[in-house]
Structure 1
């Protein structure tokens, strides 16, 4: 049994990592405020606010076999490394493909990154710069792994992105559904369960370096088609051009008035992340259809007609379809 400290562990990704580590028999502690939810059964919660200088006092000096950090805030990562870096045999930072300076084309781990954020707190629009600063904070550690993750999907997704189309197809019945006319746009989705399993495996084996964690390459068109298939949707998919959508104040990617997974050309590289190194590190990925089925089951449990963080409301969608067809 190894000792694993998850800095986080009460939200989606951190919780899944903790759950996987527990299932393998590791002694798991989660350090978090505890405001995002409960830790998985079997984990020990240490309540702490990482902005507090004393946040790590209870977990300091315990000789952790693995520390896994999911934070996006440079100040939190820097303080954790300062307090615990000498205690940890292996350190994993969960980073992002958003660190790259040019995301318009294929990305490798050697692609140039953004300038790191100087400050301690990254605003949402500084997500990439903040993660670059987080990466810098761990690079001097002797055994570290930086995992740059692409789009994550699967049950429990609080962003509401991947589940939008499957849920909408299931809700619509035989009524039409609005789809962006970007069928050829590259896309990659990694199941949160596969991501967590692989991160824990890498911690166990002591893998080091910088590596992508991305799904198999597909397209938005294929993903939407699979979403319709798992939902049993037989109605019309109404295509809207990017220009038309922008004219009607529909946003890309995410947000309350958006069509998720549609990206501007400047960000198509998020679907072109090289996975060669990850596969060499042992990453295994389930079929996208399986992820979508589990996602739809989770969407049904939470309510297909609930208010979402990403995707148009059904009334707004129907209004746009009516105008598009007029």
Structure 2
């Protein structure tokens, strides 16, 4: 197959390119080339997707599939319109953030969506869900539902996750901040987690192109309670010290943030408004060929990557060691 990856140099795009090359496909990556090297074996076309002539060269070729991971509606609209006449199908990696609500466990792809962003540019992450909803609509307008795959990904995990949301816990258990090796965790027995390994997502997207699939799918992993997820992270790290569970209200009162960013506990979310955020129905994607590796394998591989990448690098999520020591002393 001839596959055009719009991007192909950053984390997910690179994994998609690598997966397609491994299966013997002819892959071209169209990107600015600023997010990393193009995997060996792929053809690189340098282009800025914000410019009107970005698709001039690739638009004169025929493609079995186009894969797009952008969050900018204008980029996706221009690409879909430019390539509709030369590509068999368009695979768009969207997000479960397009859903209007996250309080219903087990919700499927028919759940209500946020209104599409009425702009070409997502000015901030505050409108990420609306921007992805607009991108979906642009793809469907240009290719129609029979020639499009909309993959609504959940939290993507695995080696290379610089968001630090999936690597924080195995690394913290491997390197406790407290002198007695204690690790602080949220006491949230009713909170679920749901991650998909980046390698599984990439393999499924390439397979969907091979099978000429179409449709909208929740591309998510299997739901698992946060406590079970943390226990697997602890096992991956070989941690044997105390685990200190702190009530959500006490964490919030102490200024600990949800999910990501500074002074946060990754994967932790408020209930009940997020009781369905990490427990969406993935049966359609599984029926369409999605294969999921055990979470224990993903966490072990993430820990290996974290340790090789440099555990002391500046991080985008989690508590610093000093913050955790102070919280353990205070709480």
Task: Give the TM interval when normalised to the shorter protein.
Answer: over 0.9
Task: Determine the structure 2 residue equivalent to 1:162.
Answer: 166
Task: Determine the structure 2 residue equivalent to 1:18.
Answer: 17
Q: 1:176-205 CA distances to partner (integer Å, 9 max, x unpaired)?
A: 111111133111111110110000000111
| Aligned-residue RMSD, C-alpha | 1.1
Q: Which runs of 4+ in 1 moved over 3 A?
A: none
User: Deviation of residue 3 (structure 1)?
Assistant: 0.7
Task: Determine the structure 1 residue equivalent to 2:253.
Answer: 247
Aligned match for 2:220, one of 209, 214, 222: 214
User: Deviation of residue 81 (structure 1)?
Assistant: 0.8
Aligned match for 1:184, one of 180, 190, 196: 190
Residue range with higher mean Cα deviation, 295-304 or 167-176: 167-176
Residue range with higher mean Cα deviation, 168-177 or 98-107: 168-177
Contact 1:74/1:134 (CA < 8 Å) preserved in 2?
yes
Structure 1: distance between partners of 2:7 and 2:274 = 28
Structure 2: distance between partners of 1:44 and 1:317 = 46
1:112 paired to 2:112: yes
Task: Determine the structure 2 residue equivalent to 1:137.
Answer: 138
Q: How does 1:57-206 map to 2 (within 5 A)?
A: 57-106=56-105, 107-122=107-122, 123-140=124-141, 141-142=143-144, 143-172=147-176, 174-206=180-212
Structure 2: distance between partners of 1:34 and 1:293 = 30
Q: 1:80-127 CA distances to partner (integer Å, 9 max, x unpaired)?
A: 011111111011000010100011112210000000000111121101
Structure 2: distance between partners of 1:64 and 1:264 = 44
User: Deviation of residue 248 (structure 1)?
Assistant: 1.7
* Alignment size in residue pairs: 323
Task: Determine the structure 2 residue equivalent to 1:293.
Answer: 300
Contact 2:222/2:279 (CA < 8 Å) preserved in 1?
no
Task: Determine the structure 1 residue equivalent to 2:8.
Answer: 9
Structure 1: distance between partners of 2:158 and 2:186 = 22
Task: Determine the structure 2 residue equivalent to 1:238.
Answer: 244
Contact 1:183/1:222 (CA < 8 Å) preserved in 2?
no
Aligned to 1:121, the other structure's residue is in SS state coil
1:321 paired to 2:328: yes
TM-score (norm 1): 0.97
User: Deviation of residue 208 (structure 1)?
Assistant: 0.4
1:276 paired to 2:289: no
* Structure 2: stretches of 5+ with no match in the other structure: none
Task: Determine the structure 2 residue equivalent to 1:29.
Answer: 28
Structure 1: distance between partners of 2:67 and 2:36 = 18
